[in-house]
Amino acid sequence: MAPEPAKVLVVGRSGQVASALRAAAWPGFLALEWRGRESLDLRRPEAVAEAVRTGGWAAVINAAAYTQVDRAETEREDAWAVNRNGPAALAESCGRAGIPLIHLSTDYAFDGTKAEAYVETDAVNPASFYGLSKAEGEAAVRDGTAAHVIVRTSWVFSPVGTNFVKTMLRLGRERKELRIVDDQRGRPTAAADIADAVSRILAALLTGKSDGFGTFHFAGAGATSWHGFAREIFRQAALRGFAPVPAVTAIPTSAYPTPARRPINSVLDTTRIERVYGIVPRRWEDALGETLDALVRPAESTARKEVMR
């Protein structure tokens, strides 16, 4: 008889990364189960502990987070409960069960004042409450279990959920000109590529091919500004029939005030994950093309032209 597959709990169901994990290639010996917030609420530590203790899991992936960066400035309790206390409970329970935890975190743990790309050993110093809640979540995961992999990523996009690519396409349909910040730099990252990295990390850990625990940076290859990102979105969208393309004007951060401060430099150095796991990120522009294939339908743009005639 074939051995039972190893069960993996994914916390989060409909988010960008949680959804991408569903489409990722998984080795046949793993069976993943997703829990959305309605069935496993990270704000309830005792429910989290119970779910980890009783599931017979071989590993846990935490793809869930409170991700509304500006709203976190006022909804502090919620952001803290989901981003700090939930992961703390997950890590403690995984530690007790003796199973690895893969946890996702963010470039917003850094203040963005460094001139070069951030490496894993750089000190965190978040500039926003969201960043603080995520940085403290990371710390709690490290305290809770040695068998953790924290994957810090940045500027996530995918065909689902809320993200910069979808926002640009929506605004592009509504306006002739978009004014986009040009002095914050980062590495756009496809949720599909994060899912692929997580799948490879977990497979390596569970087959004993790696004991690479700790913190890793993973982000799409190449850095740009939000303005550069927007221009590339519309360049590639136009190739897929999106029209008319809005003018994209560069503005400084000072001209676009937001409740939460963002790091000026969000660029993550990914050398460590390349060295330890052999995971080499692809160009973010290539990954963007795949996302736009799913989001820009030539039929839709043809219909818009008809309406405009």
Ligand X SMILES: NC(=O)c1ccc[n+]([C@@H]2O[C@H](COP(=O)([O-])OP(=O)(O)OC[C@H]3O[C@@H](n4cnc5c(N)ncnc54)[C@H](OP(=O)(O)O)[C@@H]3O)[C@@H](O)[C@H]2O)c1
- Name residues whose C-beta falls within 8 Å of residue 106's C-beta, 6 or more positions apart in sequence: 130, 131, 134, 152, 153, 154
| Interactions with ligand X, residue window 149-188 (CB under 6 A) | 153-156, 161
Q: How far is the CB of 219 from ligand X (least distance, A)?
A: 9
DSSP assignment letter at 84: I
Residue in the block written with tokens 């990523």: 153
Which residues are paired to 101 by β-bridges?
60, 148
Assess whether 130 carries a catalytic annotation.
yes
Cross-strand pairs, 106: 153
Catalytic residue, chosen from 66, 108, 118, 130, is 130
Distance (Å, whole) CA 173 – CA 153: 29
106 is a site residue for ligand X (CB under 6 A)? yes
- In the list 6, 21, 63, 267, the residue contacting ligand X (rule: CB under 6 A) is 63
Which residue's CB is nearer to ligand X, number 82 or number 287? Answer: 82
Q: How far is the CB of 309 from ligand X (least distance, A)?
A: 37
Can residue 230 be called a binding residue for ligand X (CB under 6 A)?
no
Given 6, 9, 12, 198, the residue binding ligand X (CB under 6 A): 12
Using the minimum distance from each CB to ligand X, give the nearer residue, 43 or 235.
Answer: 43
Backbone angles phi, psi at 267, to 5 degrees: -75, 120
Handedness of CA 118, 119, 122, 124 (dihedral sign): positive
Q: Is 64 in the site for ligand X (CB under 6 A)?
A: yes
Please identify, using beta-carbon distances, which residue of 2 and 54 lies nearer to ligand X.
54
Cβ atoms of residues 58 and 205 within 8 Å: no
71 binds ligand X (CB under 6 A): no
Give CA–CA dist 285/304, Å, rounded.
26
Count of residues that bind ligand X according to CB under 6 A: 30
> Interface with ligand X by CB under 6 A: which residues?
11-18, 36-37, 40-43, 63-67, 82, 104-107, 134, 153-156, 161
